[in-house]
Amino acid sequence: MKILGIPKKNEKKEKEPITSFKESYPIIPLKNLVVFPTMTYPFMVGRKISINAVEVAMKTDKKVFLVMQKKSEIEHPKQADLHKVGTICEILQILKIPDGTIKVLVEGLKRAKVKDIFKEEEYYKSNVEILDPSVEQDKKLELEGQVRHVKQLFEDYVKYNKRVPPESMITIMSTDDPGTISDLIISQLSSKPDDKQKILEQMDLIKRFKDLAIFISNEIEISKVEKEVQEKVRKQLEKTQKEYYLQEQMKVIKKELGDKGDYLDEIEELKEKIKKAKLPKETLEKCEKELSRLEKMPPLSAESSVIRTYIDWLLDLPWSEKSTDKVDIKESKRILDEDHYGLKKIKERILEYIAVRKLAKKAKGQILCFVGPPGVGKTSLARSIARSLGRNFVRISLGGVRDEAEIRGHRRTYVGALPGRIVQGMKKAKYKNPVFLLDEVDKMSTDFRGDPSAALLEVLDPEQNNSFSDHYIELPYDLSDVFFITTANTIDPIPRALLDRMELISIPGYTEDEKVHIAEQFLVKKQLDENGLTADNMELGHQSLYAIIRSYTREAGVRELERTIASICRKVARDIVENETKKCTIIKAVSLKKYLGPEKFRFGEAEKKDEIGVATGLAWTEAGGDIISVEVSIVPGSGKLILTGKLGEVFQESAQAALSFARSRAKQYNLPLEFYKKNDIHIHVPEGAVPKDGPSAGITLASALISALSRIPIRKDVAMTGEITLRGKVLPIGGVKEKVLSAHRADINNVILPVENKKDFEDIPQQVQSRIKFHFVETMDEVLKICLSHKKTKRTASNRPDEPSSRAQVHKKAGMARKDTADYKSDEIQPSL
């Protein structure tokens, strides 16, 4: 039994008065386990009657009496089947296992003797007598001698047995109480349970230490025999290997190999390469050993080809060669700005790394993870980082990788074995400090061949990758100088342990202004060159780019935008060739249909007017973000809630929460008190083919629902996002930047956000902040004050008879007051919330 820990307060427990212990305790019989005082033990409890005893003890003083069975095969022991002496223990912790058993952690307190055992409902209880070790006054010197003798024996035992933890030895040597010393030592021995029980029952300390000395001596002799056996086995293996090498040499000598001139020249060439290569000591020894084997083999044997390939790999890897880093921050900043527009946070992070490299020469390699939607420039940014640092760039794609050997390589025992992609990439880099891109790290999968993400744990751990082990190379390889960059579209598929080893840097979608700038600065020039055009042949205006972005692309990045510009360039090139004209073609927004056909996407626009039961929400998508309209219609019925528009489970629960909130505030908002009984409520989110889910539409649903019930329009220039609770609290949401950008694209001037999302405000571009007024709210009452329109509504045929025919009547009935707010210059009719 392994000791989990030794109590620090041994003395206090020994001085604890006997009166603190009761006369009877729940009893738990143990199989092949002896528990000693002052020691901590874990064990499993599976028998029902023992489980009941544990539960009873946990409800009282947490003390139980543990005693070992004489025979472990007995499942229902009686008093005669148990030893007479056991230990009173305190339960420190229990853990219930799904299979019904309980893992119990106890601390031994006192030896005790069983008087009698009796059944108490569903468990057994035992009357016990506390036992204390004794020694006669005139034999204390003899006891001291026995204690020293046993300590010396235990020191000898520890030399042969490395399984004893050092802290246990320190504790034993620093303990003065003989009883505690004996308990500590016997717990560390690999003695039989019956021998340990004998020590537990022995109350004469001198006899106890004599028995203990015998047990330790026996264990020392056993350990000596084990060591001798291991030494003989090792020598036998060495002898067998020596014989094998000699036999192989004899085969080479006896066999005529013909002309060996070229083969010997090749061996000499390898020797020269090994001498010139600056290899670590361990690698050098491995190369020399393999080369020695190669010399003794026939040149046409299959094994010689394997060894030659292996040596070539060892010599081709950069073991010590490093490229010189550029540490000029201004030049690096110029390169980053030249290659990419925006991306302020990432550029700052790279410049910080360069500054650290300039100050600390031994800085470790960085491990970054770029997370963002497709087309935002993650891969090209990694290449730009390598250029700014003056390092070589290596890229491997992990998309679809499902074999652990792809990362760590195959062992040389396999035919056609090769190193893993990491080592192959280092060979390609030629230096040991490249910028190494692991692309699409979220696209890996697993099967029966292993988990490649688990193999990456060592690669991407700064504390471990200085001795990365590849199955093929079989030597520790230092990756600590490599600047690792991984890319992913989302972090959800990435295992938590792997995610913890990387510094996440989010790259969200670009704003319209950023896309236009990127197109003007990079994409248009690139496509003109690739299609054989110049600026004199074609001009793509500012407004045309905005039109392309809004009507012909829907993405967070710029890949589709680049393809669309390329399509226009090809058509212009064809016109030039067919008509043999050199006239400059000016592409205007109104003429895009000629080059690109009908508009592909409906640009997200705000509602044309204030409408009843229609609220504008904000949604996050992989393409960056979009606005959605939530429509609510109240029709006569039986109280059904109808949800359409391909809504997910969480979205539907948000709708139910919004309905419950409206019902709870019906009187306060002047809603028909039994509207949920006499009417059906139909909630629809347009674009029904597009799946929609998430809790962030909660306040949008509630606003549209209350608007439909109260016949008060919702302002067309207000968009909102936030989760709602049944009490009307507005909870924070994610994807704030993308959602706000979608509102900006739709020319919406007011955005309602949860107050807890103020922390995300700094991520929103400055030009967007200047064009939108943000309202941070905590409750649904605040949302309604902002979003409900102050304009009067006309009486229509759809107004129910029991509803007021005008907004003024609604105000009067609901107790609404007209006042100015801090957010708007115009007067607003406020609900009495």
For residues 553 and 530, what is the distance between their CA atoms, to the nearest angstrom? Answer: 21
Does position 779 have pLDDT exceeding 90, yes or no? yes
Instruction: Quote the pLDDT of residue 733.
Output: 92
- The span from the CA of 550 to the CA of 548, in Å, is 6
CB atoms within 10 A of CB 68: 22
pLDDT (average), residues 730-744: 88
pLDDT at 536 exceeding the cut of 60: yes
739 counts as catalytic: yes
User: What single-letter DSSP state applies at residue 547?
Assistant: H
Nearest to 204 by CA among 129, 127, 146, 126: 146
Token pair of 314 as six digits: 């060892």
Q: Report the sign of the C-alpha dihedral through residues 811, 812, 813, 814, in that order.
A: positive
Which pairing describes strands 63-68 and 468-469: parallel, antiparallel, or unpaired?
unpaired
Q: Is 25 helix (H, G, I), strand (E, B) or coil?
A: strand
d(CA 748, CA 139): 96
Contact between 417 and 411 (Cβ < 8 Å): yes
Mean pLDDT of 500-527: 85
pLDDT at 253: 64
Question: How is the beta sheet containing 773-777 ordered, strand by strand?
Answer: 641-644, 679-684, 626-636, 614-619, 718-720, 750-754, 773-777
Q: Distance between alpha carbon 411 and the CA centroid of its chain, in Å? A: 29
The predicted-structure confidence for 98-112, as pLDDT tens digits, reads as follows: 888 899 999 998 889
The dihedral sign for the CA sequence 337, 340, 341, 342: negative
User: Which range scores top for mean pLDDT: 23-32, 209-218, 286-295, 583-592?
Assistant: 23-32
163 or 646, greater pLDDT: 646
At residue 773, the 3 state secondary structure works out as strand
List phi, psi (to 5°) of 766: -60, -40
DSSP 239-291: HHHHHHHHHHHHHHHHS-----HHHHHHHHHHHHHHHHS---HHHHHHHHHHH
Give the rounded percent of residues in the chain with a pLDDT score beyond 70: 89
Q: So what's the pLDDT on residue 252?
A: 67
For position 9, what pLDDT does the model report?
A: 41
Among the listed residues 551, 629, 696, 710, the single catalytic one is 696
Name the DSSP class of 788: B
In this structure, the strands spanning 614-619 and 641-644 are unpaired
Instruction: Please determine, for residue 525, whether its predicted confidence score (pLDDT) is greater than 50.
Output: yes
Token readout for 740 is: 């706000």
* pLDDT digits 0-9 by tens, 386-443: 888 888 999 999 888 888 888 888 888 888 888 889 999 999 988 988 999 999 998 8
pLDDT, average across residues 564-583: 87
Residue with more model confidence, 251 or 225: 225
pLDDT tens-place string over residues 74-100: 888 888 889 999 999 999 999 988 888
Give pLDDT, residue 254.
52
Bridge partner list, 818: 829
**CA distance to 33, 116, 232, per residue, from 82 (Å):** 12, 11, 44
Q: Is the dihedral of CA 551, 557, 563, 566 positive or negative?
A: positive
Highest mean pLDDT among 19-33, 198-212, 239-253, 726-740: 726-740
Contacts of 785 (CB under 8 A, 6+ apart): 821, 828, 830, 831, 833
CA distance 252 to 260: 12
pLDDT of residue 259: 47
First to last CA, the chain: 67
Residue 460 contacts residue 502 (beta carbons within 8 Å):
yes
pLDDT for 700 beyond 90: yes
Can you tell me the distance from the alpha carbon of 216 to that of 228, in angstroms, rounded to the nearest whole number?
19
Paired residues of 104 in beta bridges: 43, 94
As a 3-state breakdown, the chain gives helix, strand, coil percent values, each rounded to 5, of 45, 20, 35
Q: What are phi and psi of 193, to 5 degrees?
A: -60, -35
Residues 184, 172: contact at Cβ < 8 Å?
yes
**Is pLDDT of 649 > 50?**
yes
**Cα 741 to Cα 85, 385, 437, 578, 733, distances in angstroms:** 76, 27, 30, 42, 15
- DSSP for 89-128 reads EEEEEEEE-TTS-EEEEEEEEEEEEEEEEEEETTEEEEEE
DSSP, res 716: T
- Say yes or no to pLDDT of 14 above 70: no
- pTM exceeds 0.85 for this model: no
**What is the structure's pLDDT at 816?**
36
Three-state secondary-structure class, residue 369? strand
Residue 189 in this model has a pLDDT that exceeds 90: no
Catalytic pick from 110, 125, 347, 739? 739
3-state secondary structure of 157: helix
The pLDDT tens digits for 355-370 are 887 787 676 777 889 8
- Judged against a pLDDT cut of 50, whether residue 127 lies above it is answered with yes
What pLDDT sits at residue 614?
Answer: 93
